[in-house]
């Protein structure tokens, strides 16, 4: 182990007196964003030569290289996950060296290394999903290429593509579906692609890139690098490995054109179908059965060209209002979409004409999503049978808040109440197991207490359980058409961020209070930024949990703030450890004990 560490340090000459924490990050980010906006605008105007020139300029710039390194070594959740070289952590001085190696002049000297194959369980399913973990240098290289490639494709991506794109989410996709069907019942083709990430044809993808030769060679090298699975090398004949920084962008490029293809297959007399895609899941709507059947044939033929096929078990045709093949409605991204026939007093109306539709559209959490959530809470309770009540509350609260925040934009109030009842039965069983010789009244008085205006709560006096029904319903406004974070309208995207349903109460309030800006670097938060909450005056110095003692900042700004507050931090170079097969993501950054005047 020591020999390996010494070998790595010999290869990494340390720069001079330059410090990672003293770099002008604000100016670097502004410079990179200006270039990205110019790439976006050039692609919109169809100026391919200008796009390629600006992409080369961006990847040569030291600002972009430093930000790419910061993204993979400080911001990403998997920043402490090792590739095949065993490097888990890169210290500040070595980050500067990594940035120099990212210059395009160095590309020919660096050969893409195979990814490390790990398997993670799919939520609520017995099968596992394969991930490919690149080495740290390749991750930084991919992050740099993504900075140049993403603005170009954001200018031409189809408006109803919502997966793995900046500024877009599942909630935008489901809001688009509601807009499509709210005024008219339709047939639906609900489909999923089989092994999308693993089977994309490399040549078809590289042809669609339309990029300059040097960048095409680099992307091809990553696609063909192969993987190491339990010490055995496997060639990569197809697919983009999940786990790579650039893989989601490449997958979206490969699937680009599906919406245009299916719409061009229909004339105005037949009626154009509506198409919504989130990553490899998509739905097609048409008023007639023949329409969705034709759309299915057209799409099956199109996806063959990129080496994919529809998954038979997840591909079906249904109707939103009437029963078809024994089913009404469909499930999409954890929600159940269906229309219910109602009387004239509850019927939806056609906007403007006041004509009654005779039905009402409801989107609710799907039964599968509810079942998976209750299984997750049950497992937490089972694993803490002998643990204190406070520990059970601490582990359950993030699960409940995260799940309810995800489903808060749809018709979920009744579902939340039912989940509260099921959770109460699980906790009552947990309490009964701990005290088999005590009565129900004694158990209730020990574990449930009355709180002002909140009624009975599962509480130990110091902390209390968050009920599902405490999460208020919050409607979500769909993203505007083909809008993109690279279009320059930063105010619009900043306002959407603090209103996003997955943004918890404290962060949302702080973002509103701070005008959507980080209190450390004073830059507007963007979609994809990791936002953390820090205390102005630490608890150890008498600081409290009130909102006035907190502020929101980027994760890398959080690192920078504490690095400047705490003396004696050491840069010991690369940390070499054996790859961890179980833990593939890093823990939350712990705050230090010091304080400063960032009020």
DSSP of 542-576: T--SSGGGEEEEEHHHHHHHHHHHSS------PEE
437 and 541 assigned to the same domain: no
Residue 195 C-alpha from the chain's centroid: 19
Is 117 contained in some domain? yes
Model pTM score: 0.83
60 and 151 assigned to the same domain: yes
447 and 503 assigned to the same domain: no
Closest Cα partner for 594 from 507, 544, 535?
Answer: 535
83 and 116 assigned to the same domain: yes
> 518 with 557: CB under 8 angstroms?
yes
Identify the domain boundary among 101, 135, 155: 155
> 184 with 280: CB under 8 angstroms?
no
Domain extent at residue 512: 490-565
Which pLDDT belongs to residue 291?
Answer: 93
Bridge partners for 278 per DSSP: 281
Please count the structural domains in the chain. 3
497 and 427 assigned to the same domain: no
101 and 143 assigned to the same domain: yes
Is 392 contained in some domain? yes
Identify the domain boundary among 406, 440, 470: 470
Identify the domain boundary among 416, 437, 470: 470
Backbone angles phi, psi at 401, to 5 degrees: -65, -40
Residue-level pLDDT, tens digit, the chain, 599 residues:
334 443 333 343 444 446 888 888 889 989 999 999 999 999 999 999 999 999 999 999 999 999 999 999 988 877 888 888 888 888 888 889 889 999 988 888 888 888 888 888 776 667 778 888 888 999 999 999 999 999 999 999 999 999 889 989 999 999 999 999 988 999 999 999 988 888 899 999 999 998 999 999 999 999 998 888 888 888 888 888 788 889 999 999 999 999 999 999 998 888 899 999 999 899 999 999 999 999 999 999 999 999 999 998 889 999 999 999 889 999 999 999 999 988 877 777 766 567 777 889 999 999 999 999 999 999 999 999 989 999 999 999 999 999 999 999 999 999 999 999 999 999 999 999 999 999 989 999 999 988 767 678 899 888 899 999 999 998 888 998 888 989 888 878 877 776 777 666 777 777 777 777 787 787 777 766 777 788 877 776 777 777 778 888 887 787 777 766 654 443 333 333 334 433 333 333 333 333 343 43
Is 528 contained in some domain? yes
Tokens standing for 321? 């209002």
Is 183 contained in some domain? no
Cα distance between residue 107 and residue 528, in whole Å: 27
Is 278 contained in some domain? no
Q: How far apart are the first and last CA of the chain?
A: 45
442 and 507 assigned to the same domain: no
430 and 549 assigned to the same domain: no
Is 166 contained in some domain? no
Is 140 contained in some domain? yes
Query: Burial letters for 292-316: b for 16+ Cβ neighbours within 10 Å, e otherwise?
Result: bebbbebbeebbeebbbebeeeebe
Which pLDDT belongs to residue 352?
Answer: 59
Cα distance between residue 284 and residue 302, in whole Å: 15
502 and 454 assigned to the same domain: no
Query: Burial letters for 164-199: b for 16+ Cβ neighbours within 10 Å, e otherwise?
Result: ebebbbbbbbbbbbbebbeeebbbbbbbbbbebbbb
Beta-carbon contacts of 87 under 8 Å, excluding residues fewer than 6 positions away, are 8, 135, 136, 574, 575, 576
> 120 with 131: CB under 8 angstroms?
yes
Is 396 contained in some domain? yes
458 and 525 assigned to the same domain: no
Cα distance between residue 73 and residue 83, in whole Å: 13
36 and 85 assigned to the same domain: yes
Which pLDDT belongs to residue 293?
Answer: 94
Give the CA dihedral 506, 512, 72, 13, nearest 10 degrees: -110
Closest Cα partner for 333 from 173, 566, 224, 490?
Answer: 173
Q: H-helix or E-strand containing 32?
A: helix 25-44
512 and 437 assigned to the same domain: no
Strand order from edge to edge, sheet including 335-341: 330-332, 335-341, 359-365
Which pLDDT belongs to residue 559?
Answer: 73
> 249 with 150: CB under 8 angstroms?
yes
Reading phi first (left if > 0) and then psi (alpha if -120 to 50, else beta), residue 124 is in: left
Closest Cα partner for 44 from 136, 133, 135, 156?
Answer: 156
Rg (CA), the chain: 26
């Amino acid at each position: 182990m020591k020999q390996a560490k010494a070998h790595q340090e010999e290869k990494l000459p340390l720069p001079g007196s330059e410090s990672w924490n003293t770099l002008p990050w604000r100016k670097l980010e502004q410079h990179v964003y200006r270039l990205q906006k110019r790439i976006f605008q050039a692609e919109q105007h169809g100026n391919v030569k200008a796009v390629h020139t600006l992409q080369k300029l961006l990847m040569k710039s030291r600002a972009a290289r430093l930000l790419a390194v910061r993204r993979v070594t400080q911001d990403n959740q998997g920043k402490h996950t090792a590739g095949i070289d065993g490097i888990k952590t890169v210290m500040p001085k070595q980050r500067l060296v990594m940035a120099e190696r990212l210059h395009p002049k160095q590309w020919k000297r660096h050969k893409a290394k195979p990814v490390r194959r790990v398997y993670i369980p799919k939520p609520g399913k017995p099968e596992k999903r394969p991930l490919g973990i690149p080495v740290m240098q390749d991750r930084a290289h991919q992050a740099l290429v993504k900075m140049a490639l993403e603005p170009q494709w954001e200018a031409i991506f189809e408006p109803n593509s919502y997966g793995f794109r900046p500024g877009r989410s599942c909630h935008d996709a489901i809001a688009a579906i509601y807009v499509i069907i709210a005024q008219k019942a339709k047939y639906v083709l609900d489909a999923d692609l089989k092994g999308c990430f693993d089977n994309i044809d490399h040549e078809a993808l590289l042809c669609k890139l339309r990029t300059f030769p040097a960048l095409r060679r680099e992307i091809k090298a990553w696609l063909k690098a192969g993987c190491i699975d339990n010490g055995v090398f496997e060639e990569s004949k197809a697919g983009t490995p999940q786990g790579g920084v650039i893989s989601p962008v490449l997958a979206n490029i490969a699937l680009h054109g599906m919406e245009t293809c299916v719409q061009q297959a229909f004339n105005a007399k037949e009626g154009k179908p509506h198409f919504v895609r989130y990553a490899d899941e998509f739905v097609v709507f048409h008023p007639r059965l023949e329409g969705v059947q034709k759309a299915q044939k057209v799409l099956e033929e199109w996806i063959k060209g990129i080496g994919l096929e529809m998954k038979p078990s997840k591909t079906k045709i249904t109707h939103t209002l009437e029963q078809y093949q024994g089913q009404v409605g469909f499930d999409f991204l954890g929600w159940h979409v269906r229309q219910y026939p109602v009387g004239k007093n509850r019927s939806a109306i056609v906007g403007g004409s006041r004509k009654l539709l005779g039905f009402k559209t409801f989107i609710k959490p799907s039964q599968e999503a509810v079942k998976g959530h209750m299984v997750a809470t049950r497992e937490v309770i089972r694993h803490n049978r002998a643990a204190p009540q406070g520990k059970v509350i601490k582990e359950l609260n993030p699960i409940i808040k995260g799940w309810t925040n995800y489903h808060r934009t749809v018709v979920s109030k009744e579902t939340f109440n039912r989940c509260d009842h099921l959770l109460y039965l699980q906790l009552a069983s947990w309490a009964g197991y701990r005290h088999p010789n005590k009565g129900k009244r004694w158990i209730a008085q020990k574990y449930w207490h009355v709180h002002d205006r909140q009624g009975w709560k599962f509480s130990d006096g110091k902390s209390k359980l968050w009920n599902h029904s405490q999460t208020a319903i919050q409607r979500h406004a769909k993203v505007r058409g083909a809008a993109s974070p690279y279009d320059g309208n930063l105010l619009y995207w900043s306002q959407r961020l603090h209103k996003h349903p997955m943004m918890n109460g404290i962060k949302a309030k702080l973002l509103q209070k701070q005008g959507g800006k980080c209190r450390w670097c004073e830059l507007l938060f963007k979609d994809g930024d990791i936002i953390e909450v820090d205390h102005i005056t630490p608890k150890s110095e008498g600081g409290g949990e009130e909102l006035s003692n907190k502020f929101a900042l980027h994760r890398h700004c959080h690192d920078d703030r504490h690095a400047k507050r705490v003396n004696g931090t050491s840069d010991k170079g690369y940390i070499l450890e054996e790859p961890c097969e179980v833990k593939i993501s890093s823990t939350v950054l712990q705050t230090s004990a010091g304080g400063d005047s960032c009020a």
